[in-house]
Structure 1
Amino acid sequence: MFFVRTASERDLEQIRALLVETWHATYDTFYGAEKVDELTARWHSVEALKARLRRENAEFVVADSGSEIAGMGFAAMSDALEKTVILHQLYVLPKYQRQGVGRDMFAELETCFPDAEHMRVEVEPQNLHALAFYRAHGFSEVASTAHCGGEQSGIPALVLEKRLS
């Protein structure tokens, strides 16, 4: 059984390993292992994760069994969109997917931003499992981008949005 809690610096190595494993399992078929290595080195380094921990108006959670971290999620209020929270990351180790871990982390993140009226997420168009997850949780497509995560990544994404109550 996993419980959702706020991440801390002591979790960062496990979170990085989780992200590397999950990204390879998800994105190697789309982009190749070399590109995934490049992206995870840049986006999921311990230093990048530390910056997320320190970010204001943000929440960084993990799903923890006490001996293992099965998932992680990170969301932050948008600097550009009023009353909108951006779900930057929601990843679950492949062996724990479809067991409610992502649902539980998502439910926690939804409640962390009481002033937000919308939540947005960018999803790779070929990632059908993620698209199905978000649509089942009330998201719908509002836009697309050629640079998921910004930084001129060259990674396409659908932009999904959900109204928060």
Structure 2
Amino acid sequence: MLTITEATAQDFPTIQKIAYETWPITYGNILSKTQLDYMLEKFYSDETLLNNLTQKGHRFLLISDHNGVLGFASYEHHYQQNHMTRLHKLYVLSTAQGKGAGKLLLEEVERLAQENQANTVSLNVNKFNNAYTFYLKSGYEKLAEIDIPIGDGFLMEDYVMQKKL
């Protein structure tokens, strides 16, 4: 049975472990190793995660089974002062993919969004990430393409997606 719990700062090592395991698989054929390493450090340092949690209002969810944590999601209600919830991250270990963990995390974020009077969930996904198809199948539509400079000459080449609730 899969269980979803809210994560705290004490769970950052688990979140980091999952990110460092999933990113090379997810992005290894998309990004250079240099960019991959840069982004992991930029997005998953203790300082960044703590800032996201305490200053930016991000919430973190963990999904687990009897063997341990399988994945995580992070989201933010009232994104840009709108009736919108922003899904910032959703990653599931490769050994757990196809077992419904990602779908359950996404559904929980959508449920929490509705509970917080959001009428939309938005997200960005890398244009070449297989998760793009997952989001399409989950009812998300592509609104735009965007290139986001993240430093050191690197870009995030994303689709902006959203789902009306």
Give the TM-score, by structure 2 length: 0.88
Identity %: 24
Q: How does 1:16-35 map to 2 (within 5 A)?
A: 16-35=16-35
Q: Which amino acid aligns with 1:146?
A: D
Secondary structure of residue in 1 paired with 2:10: helix
Quote how far apart the aligned CAs of 1:151 are. Answer: 4.0
2:85 is matched with which residue? Answer: 85
Q: CA deviation at 1:141?
A: 0.6
Instruction: For residue 53 of structure 2, give the secondary structure of its aligned residue in structure 1.
Output: helix
Q: Does 1:132 align with 2:133?
A: yes
Q: Is the 8 A contact 1:122 1:158 kept in 2?
A: yes
In the other structure, the counterpart of 1:13 is 13
Q: In the aligned structure 2, how far is the partner of 1:134 from the partner of 1:28?
A: 20
2:145 corresponds to: 144
Deviates more, 1:26-35 or 1:73-82: 73-82
> Structure 1, unaligned stretches of length 5 or more?
none
What's the TM-score, normalizing by structure 1? Answer: 0.88
Q: Write the letter of the residue equivalent to 1:23.
A: W
> Residues 123 and 10 from structure 1, CA distance in 2 versus in 1: closer, same or farther, beyond 3 angstroms?
same
What is the total number of aligned residue pairs between the two structures?
A: 161
Map 1:1-165 to 2 at 5 A: 1-55=1-55, 57-65=57-65, 68-80=68-80, 82-113=82-113, 114-127=116-129, 129-147=130-148, 151=150, 153-164=154-165
The C-alpha deviation readout for 1:83-106, integer Å capped at 9, x for no partner, is: 111110010011111110011111
Instruction: Answer 1 or 2: which has greater strand percent.
Output: 2
CA distance in 2, matches of 1:104, 1:35: 30
Q: 2:56 and 2:128 mapped to 1: Cα distance?
A: 32
* Letter in structure 1 aligned against 2:140: F
Structure 2 stretches of 5 or more lacking a match? none
Q: Once superposed, what is the RMSD of the aligned Cα atoms?
A: 1.9
Checking the alignment, whether the CA contact within 8 Å between 2:150 and 2:156 is kept in structure 1 is no
